[in-house]
Structure 1
Amino acid sequence: MGIKDRALAFGKKFKLDSHHAIERFGVFFGIFTVAGVIVIGGTGASAFKASSDSLAHTALYTEEFTTSKTELNGDVDGVYTNEAGDKALVMMHFPANASISYNAADYRAFLLGSDSDLNSEVVETSGIKGSFHVFGSTGYIGVLLDADKPFDKQVLNLTVRADKELSYDERKQNEGSADELAGDASFKKYDQWRVFFNPGATGATEIKALDAMNFDPAQAYYDVVLQDEEQEIRDKLDRKLVAMRTNLAQIQAYTSDLETTKVDGLFLRPPSVPAEIAGDEVTGVSASEAKDGKSTLTLKSEHVVPGGFDLNWRAGNVYDGYLDVLVPSGQSYVEFLSSRRAEGSDSTSQQISDMPWVLSDGTELKSDYQASDVTMRPLTNVMNNLSQAYQDYAKSKSEYQSDLLLELLGLDVKLRDVQSNGSIHEGDNFLTTLY
């Protein structure tokens, strides 16, 4: 039996054979094909120009898809491989609120080769085993392919089928004619989608998770999703430390002004600073100041704002786990985070607003003098400058210890979801490959 006959037989056996509608779709959309990528209706199939250059470099041809029956939209994050090139992970995700099955056993897949005209071909890479991974309740799913040898440079057609329909919308079920629903007979009968990709291309991204002896879904989720998110938060933490250092420098400068600014011999005495910010320091150098371009800025403080955290985030990462360092022995991380939320809001800003500003003769600038008194304006300006510097620092510290560090810990919580609630479907019952 020839390759074409085997492809046709494979398609008929698993109800993946082409319907006439796909031919009409292909011809119509082919007119508008630019740079070789187009998504065809609900099937999520992509038309592409599989030139020799494309085969060498392009790893992903389908960046988004729509499930054929329930019309859920999803994105393909990328194609990831190991250093040896014999493992490939196709990572996809649905919106966080999408009604999908979080049980990997509810999915199966079919793998075929494909040419530039969407014709099915045999898969050239031998010995491919596949597994389907659901990454907790995050909305991320992935198909892991493990081959006997490095993947050939070949465009592969991966059809993922949900044995249980992902969602139901009566309005969508009643809309459109048969031709409008899907270009493939099986896409009308089953809820499924297609991804065209080339794991042998140089454009595939290598990740550490695929070089490990045993595949760890949590490591893969960290490599693909959380690592970039973590870096964004770390960059924001660094920028906030720079701002806090600037605020502290302003506080020092305006405090010095208290000694030198006088009105008829009167001057302001240094105010009693709220304990929550008194004695705080930001040490180290920023990335722009460091010779190696790596920031070493660190907040040194004896007080943590309500709902905040004292965390040396530079010493670890989300995959290694920050919560393990913070959560006291005998307490769950859920209880720990709940207790921090119950601490309420930071009152430092209000304390600064109520701060008394006492003059050298014992009078109080805000209560004993009119704000419009032009004679006291030099002292009023010094007071306002220092007070604002305190406010700016207090706000920055609260955002740093509470908001931003909580964002970082939120990634840790997502990873724990993957570790606790992830599922896997593997073996012949999951992947069927056309050889």
Structure 2
Amino acid sequence: MAAHLSRRTLFGLVGAGAGAYLLSACGGGDSGDPDGPQAINWWHIQNTEPMLPVWAAMAKEYQSGHDGVTVEIQPLENEAFKAKLTTATQAGSPPDLFQSWGGGVLRQQVDAGLVKDLTDDVRPWIDTLLPAAVQPFTVDGKIYGVPFDVGMVGFWYNKDLFASAGVTTAPTTWAGFLDAVRRLKAAGTVPIALAGKEKWPGHYYWAYLAMRIGGLGALQQAAKDGNFDTPDFVAAGERLKELVALQPFQKGFLGADYSSPDGQAATMGNGGAAMELMGQWAPSVQASASTSKKGLGDKLGFFPFPAVEGGRGAASEAFGGGNGFAVGRDAPASTVDFLRALLTVENQRKAAATGAVLPTVTAAADAIADANNRVVAQTLAAATGFQLYLDQAYPPAVGQQVNDSVAELIAGNRTPAQIVKDITTVAKNQ
């Protein structure tokens, strides 16, 4: 799937919670002795098909080749993971290997001394990864995490529903996008599926609009001075209000989850809406949440967020991020080696073949089988700029306020001018 933590998974699959998946009867433990028994405690959010068994198989394979090393996997649903990780980090005892999206949250963990500086450890092989994917995991020039997945947010759409409504080409401008929404509504189709309850999917709209109107510079400046009370951010809210006024979302969207049987992904996967604005994991989650367990198949298409007329941001600037792993400060010596094993070309190809991961290892890109995922990868590769999810890029409290404020705007409870003041108040106190 928000602080920014996103729930996406944000860069990851989001689904029902799963209990601890033990690959060994050996309990969690930690040993700095590379020659002694070592147990790696691994938390991740790939708690559903297709990646859950893939990760388990990779861990089992690693164990078989490394005597004395055991891997204890705990797959968690995205929100449950974040809650549990917060408790663990506040207690000063992070897991040995755990899901990370980089950005502001990782910086706080670095400042608190909770994660290992991996710069020297990964130096021999980090150049095999896409530089843009590594950037969110780099703090003050040092690497504190390694990404296994990278991608961007864009519109996933149902080609059949577009055709039935007479929308023959993917919109490239905001005005054209709003016209497509009107056409879809006129044809009796729900234009957009949205998980309003979870908030983070809504923030994508405001963030992208701010990018298209003010350019990446506006978001970067806000990160520096904490001031969101500017014409560009207000205008982003006004444009979002234009969309909300068309009532484009499915019935009950304010109470909808992302991955539940009646949530955003299922609504798309079952043909109940024409579009969703979501990351690269969308097709696999749509399929998993759909009644058929197959999703839309070749009926699904992808297009980038459109340009805003008169805006300083280009449509070639991408908004997204990647899933990765950080290493806890007390992790066993073998943890970084295990992380390296997960990022080999062979294992990245296995992950890419599931359709749930866009690999960060450049040589593994040939394993991207899904046509839409290839489009995402190509679009991202050609991007002229990149912005990390706002609820990841900014400090957690600011990211959460962005999500909360945009949700209030979409619900009609706050105005564009009010939400930028609310966000700024929180940002100025960081």
Give the TM-score of the pair, scaled to structure 2. Answer: 0.21
Name the structure, 1 or 2, with higher relative contact order (CA <8 Å, separation 6+). Answer: 2
More helix by share: 2
- Taking structure 1 as the reference length, what is the TM-score of the superposition? 0.21
